[in-house]
Chain A
Amino acid sequence: MKRCIVQMIIVCSVLLFFSNLAKATMPSPMKNTYIHDFANVISANVKEEINHYSEQLDQGTGAEIMVVTIDSLHGQEPKMYATKLIRSWGIGDKEKNNGVLILATFGQGEGNNDVVIAVGQGLEGALPDGKLGRILDNAFYPSASTGNLDQAFQATYSEVFRAVAQEYNWNGDMPAQTNEEEDMPTWLIILIIIIVLIFYTFFSKGGGGPRAGGYGGYPGSFGGGRSSRGGFGGFGGGSSAGGGASRKF
């Protein structure tokens, strides 16, 4: 009889442990924010920017773009995990199902981390899987692989944001484009100018050092410093049918 009770206690505690574990893998949303940086990798002014733009877009169109960083998916399939997160948090409007989730892990080791963009059915037309994959390849990966996470999230967010805004013909305040594809030519132009200046100083005066100084920030970086707090107190109850794309980085 005693053994029976002991066994039951063991079984119960094991069950409890596993049910807690299952809960622990799905974080809970906070109120009044569109960015959940659980992994603590994004700087404060980028967070503020993303919050600002998402809030504007939400008020204008009902579409919700959420950025989430966590340590690990505990071996779960990234797209499925993101779909479940959209559903359990209810990201997006309940009728329109127009939520977008940009989710990345940072505790699975370099090359094994997952990044995924998942969308609700309502935005599958504006953000088909192929396009999401391209955004991850062109906007997220180049910066993330060199450790510039702020830039990676800004560029990815900006691409997603523009696609959603275009879908609703919404022309409010847009985040600046920080796409690598557009940065490279600018970078080259500056380099050419420097080279021309060097040649100019050499050939016109027959000596002397180059006078071209350093150049300032990226052409399209986020401004920073804007703050906003609105009446956003929870998510719209949107769902997802599982659309999205993912990559390892």
Chain B
Amino acid sequence: MKKLLGPIGIIVIILVVIALLFIPKYNSLVTAEENVDSKWAQVENQLQRRYDLIPNLVESVKGYASHEQEVIANITQARAQMGSARTPEEQAVANDALTGALSRLLVVVENYPNLKSDANFRQLMDELAGTENRLAVAREDYNNEVQQFNKHVKRFPGNLMAGMFGFEQKEYFKAAAGADKAPSIDFSQSGTH
């Protein structure tokens, strides 16, 4: 009896130690994943908001600059691409394409003072620029959480847990170089004053 209790006791102690070591680690992995997901939801909110603003913008541009077909088509196309993107990587690429198309629009807008001083257009551009900034903020928050999560997944003993329970490293939401600069429009010359 005593002989049997020895090995069993040791096994029990080892199991308890493993549990004590691993349960908090597992919980912190779950928490970290939740954080990543909630920050990702913020990014998606802003992407959606941007997506929703574009049709109004295109309409008001058409009112003043209807023959700028190419620019308008580019924006519409980039928006469609954004609508069909699913993974963070695809969305980041589509988002960059839209940013590019919008900055080309801003160059064109310089030639249309009436459009530039249109109250509706100015408001839309403010909303859009604000959304760009929110997106940049949300992206940074998301990437920080991903970094935390990936640290958990890579380090011991998290890496064992991650393998066992199927936690995989998360993708960063990367912006192309220069795309983190929100397109800005210089209103100072053509104000309504």
B188 partner residues in chain A, CB cutoff 8 A? 111, 141, 145, 247-249
Point out which of B126, B133, B191 has the most chain A C-beta atoms below 10 A from its C-beta: B133
With A77-B181, A137-B193, A246-B184 known to touch, is A130 a contact of B137 (CB < 8 Å)? no
B125 partner residues in chain A, CB cutoff 8 A? 133
A241 partner residues in chain B, CB cutoff 8 A? 42, 134, 137-138
Q: Which of A123-142 contact B (CB under 8 A)?
A: 128-130, 132-134, 137-138, 141-142
With A77-B181, A141-B193, A247-B187 known to touch, is A242 a contact of B138 (CB < 8 Å)? yes
Alpha-carbon distance A142/B188, docked complex (angstroms)? 10
With A128-B127, A130-B123, A248-B186 known to touch, is A137 a contact of B133 (CB < 8 Å)? no
With A129-B127, A247-B187, A249-B188 known to touch, is A137 a contact of B137 (CB < 8 Å)? no
Contact partner, B191, options A79, A137, A240, A246, Cβ 8 Å? A137
- The smallest C-beta distance from B192 to any residue of chain A, in angstroms, reads 7
In the bound complex, do residue B122 and residue A137 qualify as a contact, i.e. CB atoms below 8 Å apart?
A: yes
In the bound complex, do residue A242 and residue B137 qualify as a contact, i.e. CB atoms below 8 Å apart?
A: yes
With A141-B191, A180-B193 known to touch, is A129 a contact of B129 (CB < 8 Å)? yes
Number of interface residues of B (CB under 8 A): 27
B106 lies within 8 A of chain A by Cβ: no
Query: What residue of chain B has the Cβ atom nearest to residue A137's Cβ?
Result: B191
B109 lies within 8 A of chain A by Cβ: no
Given contacts A129-B127, A130-B124, A246-B129, 16 further A-B contacts (CB under 8 A): A77-B136, A77-B182, A79-B129, A79-B133, A79-B182, A80-B182, A83-B133, A130-B127, A133-B125, A141-B193, A145-B188, A180-B193, A241-B42, A243-B130, A243-B133, A245-B130
**9 closest pairs, A vs B, by CB?**
A129-B130, A133-B126, A130-B123, A242-B137, A242-B134, A79-B133, A242-B133, A129-B126, A245-B126
